[in-house]
Structure 1
Amino acid sequence: MNIALWIAQGILGLIFIMAGMMKAFQYEKAKEGMPWVKEYSKGLVIFIGLSELLGGLGVILPYATGVAPSLTPIAAIALGIVMILAAGFHAKRKENQAIGMNILFLALAIFVAVGRW
């Protein structure tokens, strides 16, 4: 079970770190790859990116280092909430292919949150 949890944490962490870094530090590249970014302020997109980046780090680092490991399931819950909100956002925009990924990442986040609680 521990190995499965680490794999899920690694996937979640890497996906959110990469997505967060692009939104937070490569705004122009994010505008090209994500149509919704053009419709929202740069500040909001950077805030979302920093939130995803910190969530991605939070799902891996606390448990890996042994420093405040209780933060790992909290970060997983936070990422799950982000995925619920993202699924609603994409549903409103009729971006159905993105909702599938949101549900997959939500399931991984729930698995990590429950497994590490």
Structure 2
Amino acid sequence: MDLNVWLWIVTSLLATVLLISTSKMFLPRERIAAAGGRAAEWVLDFSPGALRAIAILEFLAAAGLILPAVLDIAPVLVPVTATCVALLFVGATTMRLRRGERATIAADVLYFALAVFVAWGRFGPESFTG
């Protein structure tokens, strides 16, 4: 497979993860913490309003990873969004480290790496504008 196909696969995966994560906007944080176990206890550190704000940003990120390229409207927003997603996961990893949750950061580090890959690929060799 060529790089463009891999970038679309990774972008779709990231968008899906972000969309699933928006469930915190609709579910009580206590239910999320109970269902997700140790990896989801962080939600108890945030107010429902803060969780809603995070979920809205994740929704916008999922849209920003896909829609600009699909609709061919400002496709440069795809790598910009991927960069922002990478920063989101830097924050998530930092939060987990501060909470002493070293065992649960693997997914955040993976998503960070995938977002960096998309940003690199779409700013560079498989740019929509080049």
Q: Same fold (TM over 0.5)?
A: yes
| 2:107 counterpart (93, 101, 111) | 101
What runs of 5+ residues in structure 1 fail to find an aligned partner? Answer: none
Alignment of 1:61 onto 2:71: no
Distance of 2:94 and 2:106 partners within structure 1: 12
Distance of 1:99 and 1:39 partners within structure 2: 17
1:39 matched residue in structure 2: 45
| 1:2 counterpart (1, 4, 11) | 4
Give the 4+ runs in structure 1 shifted more than 4 A.
none
3-state SS of paired residue (2:105): helix
Alignment of 1:27 onto 2:28: yes
Bigger mean CA deviation after superposition, 27-36 or 84-93: 27-36
What runs of 5+ residues in structure 2 fail to find an aligned partner? Answer: 124-130
Structure 1 residues 86, 27: closer, same or farther in 2, change over 3 A? same
2:85 matched residue in structure 1: 79
Larger helix proportion, structure 1 or 2?
1
**Paired residues of 1:23 and 1:46 also in contact (CA < 8 A):** yes
Per the TM alignment, residue 97 of structure 1 is displaced from its structure 2 partner at its CA by: 2.8
Distance of 2:112 and 2:67 partners within structure 1: 19
Question: Which AA in structure 2 matches 1:88?
Answer: T
Question: Which AA in structure 2 matches 1:48?
Answer: I
**Paired residues of 1:73 and 1:112 also in contact (CA < 8 A):** yes
Per the TM alignment, residue 102 of structure 1 is displaced from its structure 2 partner at its CA by: 1.0
Name the TM-score, length of structure 2 as normaliser: 0.83
Distance of 1:90 and 1:79 partners within structure 2: 17
Per the TM alignment, residue 95 of structure 1 is displaced from its structure 2 partner at its CA by: 1.3
Per the TM alignment, residue 49 of structure 1 is displaced from its structure 2 partner at its CA by: 0.9
Which one has a bigger Cα radius of gyration? 2
